[in-house]
Structure formats: C-alpha cells, structure tokens
Amino acid sequence: MSNATPPVVPTSPHVMNTYGRLPIALTHGQGCKVWDTNGREYLDGLGGIAVNTLGHNHPRLVPALQEQLTRMIHSSNYYHVPLQETLASLLVERSGMHSVFFCSTGLEANEAALKLARKFGHDKGIERPEVVVYEKAFHGRSIATLSATGNPKVQAGFAPLVEGFIRVPINNLAALKAATENNPNVVAVFFEAIQGEGGIHAMQADYLRDVRALCDQRDWLMMIDEVQCGMGRTGKWFAHQWAGIQPDVMPLAKGLGSGVPVGAVVVGPKAASIFQPGNHGSTFGGNPLSMRAGVETIRIMEEDGLLENATRVGAHLRACLAQGLAAEIASGGVKEIRGQGLMLGIDLAVPCSVLMQRAADAGLLLSVTADTVVRLVPPLILSLQEAEQIAALLCPLISTLLKENT
C-alpha cells in the first residue's frame, strides 16, 4: 500500500466560470520552466500566451521591478509620468512612428484603435464610418472588438454586435477592393500581421504592401494589430516590418511588459493628432510600474539579442517539429507547420484540443486554437536545447492522436 500523498486538484469555486481550465495551478517559474502546486515541472511552450517575453524570474527584470515598487506603483494621468516618455520614445524609435497612448491590455489598445478610426472618419465629415476587418481575426472580447473579431463562436450570445465593419478574407486584394468599391464610408483597414487565435495565419508581404498602397490611395488608416505577434516574437520588433511597411496605427500589449499588464497604441503622423484631451483615457494605463516593466523588457531584449534568438531558435524548433512529424506531414495528418520566429502553429487534420491536457501530462505547456492548430509561443529566451525538448515531447503526442483518428 502506497503512502504517497495524492495530488491536490485545484479548484476556484468563487471565481466566475469563464475559462475551460486544466486542473493545474502554477506557483513559480525559472527561465522557461514552471512548477505547479504539486511540485510538477513543466517546460513553458505557451509563455502566458505570448506574454512572458523574458521567461520567469528574470535576474535583471525582477530587481528592477522591486526597485520601482519602492518608488511608485501608480500615478494619475492628471500628471506627467516620466517613464511614459521613456517607453514611448523606445517604441517610436523601433517602429519609426510618431507617438504612443498607453493602456493596460490588448483589448483596450484595439478599442482605442477603433475609436481612432471612427474619429478619423467623423473629422472628415463621414457620419457612419466603416472599418474593414478579416475572417478568422481576433481582436478582443469587448462588444466593439468582439464585433471586429471573425469568430462566430465567440460572438454567439452577444448580439446585437456593433455595426460599421466590412469583413473580407486574408491575402485577397481583389476581395478587399470589391468589398469597398464605391463606398465613401470606409476609413480604415484593421488586421493582425499574423492571426493568433485564428490559427497562426500570416498576412503575405506582397499583400501588406498592396494594402499599404491602397490605404494611401484612398486615404484610409492602416491599422495593424501587433498585440500577439509584436515585440520581437517573429524576429523583428513588429511582424509587419518583414514586409518593409509602416502602419498608421499599431496596438501592442502581451509581451511588452513581460507579464506586467501593459498595452499601447503606437501611431504615425496621420493618426497622431486625431485624439485630443478628453477624447480618450485610462486610469491604470501608463502607470510607473507598468512603464518600468516595458522599459526594462526592451532594454534586456536588446542586451541579450532576443530578436536574433527568436529567429534562430524559432527556425530550429520548426525544423525539429518538421523532422519529428515527417511521416505525419507526408500522410496529411499534419497539414502545415506555419508561423515565424517563436510564433508557430501546427495545423492538424483533426481537432486536437485534447493535446493541451496530454501535453501537460507529459510536462509541456501549450495551447490549441482554431480547433485544429497547436500553438507554440514560448518565452523569447528559449534555448536551442529547450526547442529540441519541446519537439521531443510534442511530436509523439501528435502522432498518437492522429493514429487514434484514422
């Protein structure tokens, strides 16, 4: 008879039941590893959903945040916050854009972008501005961002949605032109450079350049949601930079604060003066603690070459996955491995939500999105060896799942 203590299964009876949680509660982490309340170790292939840029318990980030806690956590935006200017200047320099509004989340950043688009239209005398959005897009769960999102499942139960959106397929310039032909109410095109929740679908470089030209021709705002794919995840600061273009509006969040909530809207000259005092605001946005997190995140990313690391380790992870799943790719069970840098999706021919639990049981954290896509967005500090470990843990699980479904 075993005297081993049975594992404790965490519950949250007083927390609203809004998530399909795994029976795991994490207590602490170090680098790309985390541990749960039962002492179980996991390799973190999810990074808090592309949030923990610097991993866990980073030896230079944590002391900086501790020092900031002793100075000031929060300050009202009635006053100047010097660290806002510091972080804004860093983002402007790396984007080539003009100025920044700070908030706390990606949803808030996307809401602000939609407000910018509408006011841009009203300032031009357009009473009912319309924004082009995309199939499979995900921009948030507020009523406005939900309406811009291209997922009927997450929209169900929340009608009536906000009007003023025109939906088109990705990477189809003819469809974009046809949907907006002779429509004077269009004011902006809004999309993710790489769709995250939608299944890791990237906008093609030629398409991005064509949309940029169309926006210039028709006086539209080009608004690129870089909430998940930005902040070095693809190997450049922002994913659209691979196409050599620049948006007019760029929402950011997730990885910007390495786990401390930070959202931002970076704007170019065309959008820099749309908001005036009283048009928009945020209580928590831009507080000293979150700004320090953003400043230190960028500083450490540059000191440690994490953009280059994302490119190098991401390519290695992709190669390891392709090698480990070669038979499944040949048979069609794995339809595609796509993405860039450390934002990868493995698209399977069958639904694969069960892999979240199976991977956790094997000691790997990941997510499944769009029903059939395994999503990997680990910390940008991931090593080559850890990339190999991810593939070694994951490939057999995918192979087994596909065999079960043949």
366 and 389 together in one domain: yes
CATH of the domain at 213: 3.40.640.10
149 and 42 together in one domain: no
244 and 124 together in one domain: yes
Residues paired with 29 in a beta bridge = 34
Alpha carbon separation from 75 to 79, 94, 216, 287, 326 (Å, rounded): 8, 26, 39, 6, 54
| Structural domain count, the chain | 2
Confirm whether 64 is domain-assigned: no
167 and 246 together in one domain: yes
Confirm whether 331 is domain-assigned: yes
335 and 295 together in one domain: no
Where in 122-179 does DSSP place strands (E)? 130-134, 165-168
The last residue of one of the domains, among 303, 330, 363, is 303
Helix axes 288-303, 306-324, angle to 10 degrees: 70
Confirm whether 335 is domain-assigned: yes
- The three-state secondary structure class of 220 is coil
Confirm whether 387 is domain-assigned: yes
225 and 182 together in one domain: yes
Range(s) of the domain holding residue 133: 72-303
The last residue of one of the domains, among 303, 334, 361, is 303
pLDDT tens, residue order, the chain (406 aa): 456 778 889 999 999 999 999 999 999 999 999 999 999 999 999 999 999 999 999 999 999 999 999 999 999 999 999 999 999 999 999 999 999 999 999 999 999 999 999 999 999 999 999 999 999 999 999 999 999 999 999 999 999 999 999 999 999 999 999 999 999 999 999 999 999 999 999 999 999 999 999 999 999 999 999 999 999 999 999 999 999 999 999 999 999 999 999 999 999 999 999 999 999 999 999 999 999 999 999 999 999 999 999 999 999 999 999 999 999 999 999 999 999 999 999 999 999 999 999 999 999 999 999 999 999 999 999 999 999 999 999 999 999 999 999 8
Alpha carbons 248 and 266: distance in angstroms, whole number: 8
324 and 297 together in one domain: no
- The three-state secondary structure class of 235 is coil
Confirm whether 1 is domain-assigned: no
Helices (H), 186-264: 205-218
Confirm whether 12 is domain-assigned: no
pTM of the predicted structure, to 2 decimals: 0.96
The last residue of one of the domains, among 303, 331, 356, is 303
Confirm whether 194 is domain-assigned: yes
78 and 163 together in one domain: yes
CATH of the domain at 324: 3.90.1150.10
174 and 288 together in one domain: yes
Confirm whether 252 is domain-assigned: yes
